[in-house]
Amino acid sequence: MNSPMIELKGVGKEYPLYTSANERFWALVLGSRAKRSNRALNDINLTIGRGEKVGLIGRNGAGKSTLLKIITRAIDPSEGSVEVQGRSHALLQLGVGFHPEFTGRENAHSFIAHLGYVGKRATELVDEAVDFAEIEEYVDQPLKTYSSGMAARLMFGVSTVIEPELLVVDEVLGVGDAYFQNKSFERIRDMCDNAGTTLVLVSHDVYSAAKLCDRMIWVDQGNIYADGEPADIVKLYETSIRLQEDSRQKHKLAMRYRDTLSQIAEQPFFIEIRARGNEPAAAPVHFSEIALIAPDGSVVSLPVLHEQVQTAQFVAERLPHTAWGDISKIDGEEVRSWNNFGTVDHKIGIALFPAARTAREWLEESELHLRCYANDRIDADVVFIDGGERILARLESAPGEWLVLRAKVRDGSKVTSADRVQVRETSGVNERQGSGKLILTGSVMLDEHGKQSFCFQHGADAVIRLPYRINDPSLAERCQVVLAFKRNGIDDVMRLRCVDLLFDFAQAASGAIEVDLSPITLGVGSYALTVLIAKEGYYEHTDGRFFSINPDVYDCQSGIIEFEVQDNASLLSVGTGVVGRADFHLRLPETAAGHDEG
């Protein structure tokens, strides 16, 4: 990292919450603290070097804008220290100080004067801004006559006409039409590359931010829990969408019970069994028992074989939107299956709705008993959720054996939100997305000799082989297979789609997809391959849901293969995504030639 431009140490921000105007008044007069407060930031430690391009992402209310305001000294932190070097310029809101009755040129001169520029230099900067905004014919008309897009163009052009050492941008790059949005991104990129400007950017468009920035920071609930390469943070973002949907479904279930069962006094608890890394099991897992053993030795069997259980302590129900299957028999014992397909979250769960406050103590002192069987290896976490999350045990077993597990609820190890979206520890594979009806079981890229390679010459032959397994015995359809080639893991430079392959479990439960790239048309560079397999007609009839929460996506793996394309013979493939192929014909006048030259 270059010398620090920004250093935050132990920074926190707290906003007092007043219940009435009187409370606010007396707090101002007496200097007393509010009874309640909202923590916007918690113990932020952050260093940003000179010349870095840093993107801040996160949900609304995560604390991103508060962090920017502290960096720009618009507000002071409640605790901690902030050091910012050099001359900074903040684009926190376009159009501040612009008056609708003044012309575009007058507003531009006023804004430039506010930045300390007057005279000839100010006129040069205004002309440059107007030229960038491409509104020369309207610049001497009142601002109130501008369309919203024209006004945004002028405001952005004026705001970026100077080249500060530090540029802080908060959600203002989505200005104008698509052409001008791209032009705005290039303007920022040029400022950073040519003038060495340090950029701190807040954006909800994580893909555009990833293309512009060389570092991304994820802010959530006032904390920094992910900081790294943009391609890695984008993968975490895609997983987080699924986790957010899971939380929403739990909240809906809790609200339904609160409305229908008035005796419930507390928020529900959950017991979940999650496939590690969201990796579908090779075969269904069959459960014959999930039970809580109370401190007095009494047993409460949770609803594995039945839809619901109600006792004096709580109501329990199998969680919807998880992969619970049908009832069958194993070794003469009644079981319910955990399917390895059908939902985007590869897990099962039980919701516990306490009917009394003593139920919390009852649960904390209980022991969880679990009995299951699988024809293949099991690799899952048993998690107890009570606002936070605790892993009670790791579920592992050999194929073809009954597994009995016992775990004290109070002994679980805490899980953070960051832990839930981290790279899988056991194999280095990122959490996969998709409902698991059909999944890839491997990937390899072969050169012209049929050998695995990670480096190819432009124009050479190559084949991608993708072994697969069908988990859903009823699957028989022409699934859509999409390959996306991302330069440096970010820029989507080429996609390939196939809709002709028939995947039929009755014919074969496994096989391999082969994609012949001969010859390689990708330009020189480093690439990461993303593969998506989806339901027949997915792209033609999609309902608009994000892919990581759409059950019509069967499997999606990002960065499944990383490889490099080189070219020692020609400059044609340098600096481009794809060198395309087409048929060219030279049509000559009949007086010059009696036929076409192909």
Q: In this predicted model, what pLDDT tens digit does every residue of 282-297 receive, in sequence order? A: 999 999 999 999 888 8
What pLDDT band is residue 488 in, cutting at 50, 70 and 90? confident
pLDDT at 587: 84
Q: Do domains 4-230 and 438-566 have the same CATH topology?
A: no
**pLDDT beyond 90 at 422:** no
Query: Residue 212 is inside which H or E element, if any?
Result: helix 206-212
Query: For residue range 65-88, what is the model confidence (pLDDT) as tens digits?
Result: 899 889 988 899 999 999 998 777
- Most confidently modeled range among 131-135, 175-179, 202-206: 131-135
pLDDT at 471: 96
Instruction: Parse the chain into domains and list their residue ranges.
Output: 4-230, 241-421, 438-566
pLDDT at 424: 37
pLDDT at 350: 94
pLDDT at 426: 33
pLDDT at 428: 38
**pLDDT beyond 70 at 425:** no
Q: Which residues pair with 480 in a beta bridge?
A: 534
DSSP calls for 403-428: EEEEEEGGGPEEE-TTGGGSPPTTT-
* 4-230 CATH: 3.40.50.300
pLDDT at 413: 83
What pLDDT band is residue 262 in, cutting at 50, 70 and 90? low
**pLDDT beyond 50 at 415:** yes
Query: For residue range 23-62, what is the model confidence (pLDDT) as tens digits?
Result: 777 777 776 677 777 888 999 999 999 989 999 988 888 8
Query: For residue range 541-565, what is the model confidence (pLDDT) as tens digits?
Result: 888 889 999 999 999 999 999 999 9
**pLDDT beyond 60 at 598:** no
CB of 219 within 8 A of CB of 13? no
**pLDDT beyond 50 at 423:** no
**Lowest-confidence region among 18-22, 84-88, 366-370:** 18-22
Query: pTM of the prediction?
Result: 0.82
CB of 316 within 8 A of CB of 413? no
CB of 320 within 8 A of CB of 326? no
**pLDDT beyond 90 at 507:** yes
* 438-566 CATH: 2.70.50.30
| Strand ordering across the sheet containing 314-318 | 308-310, 314-318, 347-354, 269-275, 378-386, 388-397, 413-415
Enumerate residues 6+ apart whose C-beta is below 8 A from 348.
272, 273, 287, 318, 319, 322, 323, 324, 338
In the structure encoding, which two tokens stand for residue 483, read together? 């390959």
> Beta strand pairing status for 367-374 and 476-477?
unpaired
**Lowest-confidence region among 67-81, 232-246, 397-411, 423-437:** 423-437
